[in-house]
Amino acid sequence: MIHHTIQGTAVPALGFGTFRLPGDDCREGVEHALGIGYRHIDTAQGYHNEEFVGAGLRRAGVPREDIFLVSKVAPDNFAGDGAATSTLESLRKLGTDYVDLMLLHWPDPEVPLEEPLTALARLQREGAVRHIGVSNFPPSLVERARAVTELFCNQVEYHPYLSQTRLLEQAQRHDLLLTAYCPIARGKVLDDPVLRDIGAGHGKTPAQVTLRWLAQQERVAAIPKSAHAQRRVDNLDIFDFELSDEEMAAVFALDREQRLVDPAGGPDWER
């Protein structure tokens, strides 16, 4: 496993995503992922599976302090003290005293950023939240959030078909984690001839080349999701090879500004 040190905290560069992984599949997936060596788990209030993530954590029996556990406050809970009360509810569902990282899931122009960030900062002082971050925030909104409280992370869509140059520069400048969601572009990388060629030289698949490309970048973590045990094994099997500078550049060159997650009413990504 590669770890990135962010503000003095070691973060596993590969984690397990749980979006659209409900119920028992989630419990089994998290238990299995931890059993084979994943130590970074990503969930959200909006995934409605935090209690199943919690059940998987309990059954895996891995010491809590060895796991980097991430959840997200749903925008519906941003107003007033809602970020704090809903985070405490998340902790109850997850069966833990703290999350390593709590993110604001999406920017919400209806609620001043100060409200949820101040509420989370209080929980941070009380020990229930180790680090505070955001998700789906364009660069200028990250700066605004940083003016309210110390930020640890921005989680955004990032894969070979969508570059994130500005956010990467911002992450290096401010020592932030940039977590890549949809890291294998929801399967779109699987048939890519360039990724296939690079993989052939290492005995790896296009998905493995892509995950390695992400994890090898400074301050970048990737959180692929799979409901299949063998794919979870394959996605973790990226730490016995390295991409050369030329191979890294060849994957960067695949950018085609293809955004897979772009809901109506979402942020202006260029801001």
Ligand X SMILES: NC(=O)c1ccc[n+]([C@@H]2O[C@H](COP(=O)([O-])OP(=O)(O)OC[C@H]3O[C@@H](n4cnc5c(N)ncnc54)[C@H](OP(=O)(O)O)[C@@H]3O)[C@@H](O)[C@H]2O)c1
Q: Cβ 106 to ligand X, closest distance in Å?
A: 7
Q: How far apart are CA 182 and CA 158, in angstroms?
A: 7
Would residue 47 show up in a list of annotated catalytic residues for this protein? yes
Residue 135 CA to chain centroid, in angstroms? 9
241 lies in the binding site for ligand X (CB under 6 A)? no
- Per-residue binding string, ligand X, 187-206, x by CB under 6 A, is x--x----------------
Tell me: does residue 107 bind ligand X (CB under 6 A). no
Residue 237 binds ligand X, judged by CB under 6 A: no
Q: Does residue 90 bind ligand X (CB under 6 A)?
A: no
Q: Is residue 22 at the binding interface for ligand X, with CB under 6 A as the rule?
A: no
The nearer residue to ligand X, 20 or 126, going by C-beta atoms, is 20
Our CB check for ligand X shows the closer of 40 and 219 to be: 40
Task: Give the binding-site size for ligand X (rule: CB under 6 A).
Answer: 27
CB nearer ligand X, residue 48 or residue 122: 48
**Which one among 12, 39, 42, 154 touches ligand X, defined by CB under 6 A?**
42
Q: Which residue type is seen at 9?
A: T
Q: Please state, in angstroms and rounded to a whole number, the distance separating the CA atoms of residues 152 and 157.
A: 17
The answer to the question of residue 135 lying near ligand X (CB under 6 A) is yes
- Write the CB contacts of 43 (distance below 8 Å, at least 6 apart in sequence): 18, 49, 50, 53, 70, 71, 72, 94
The length of the chain, given as a count of residues? 271
Which residue's CB comes closest to ligand X? 17
Instruction: Return the DSSP state at 159.
Output: B
Residue 13 sits at φ, ψ, to 5 deg, of -75, -10
Residue span binding ligand X (CB under 6 A) among the ranges 141-149, 176-184, 213-221, 244-252: 176-184
Instruction: Say how many C-beta atoms besides its own lie within 10 A of residue 222's C-beta.
Output: 26
CB proximity list for 9: less than 8 A, separation 6 or greater: 100, 130, 131, 152
Of 205, 209, 151, 214, whose CA–CA distance to 182 is shortest? 214
Does position 234 bind ligand X by CB under 6 A? yes
Q: Does 23 bind ligand X (CB under 6 A)?
A: no
Which strands make up the sheet holding 99-104, listed edge to edge?
16-17, 40-42, 68-73, 99-104, 129-135, 153-157, 177-181, 220-222
Q: Does 49 bind ligand X (CB under 6 A)?
A: no
Using the rule CB under 6 A, which residue among 183, 198, 221, 269 binds ligand X? 183
Q: Does 155 bind ligand X (CB under 6 A)?
A: yes
Binding site for ligand X (CB under 6 A): 17-19, 42, 105, 135-136, 155, 181-187, 190, 207, 223-228, 231, 234-235, 261
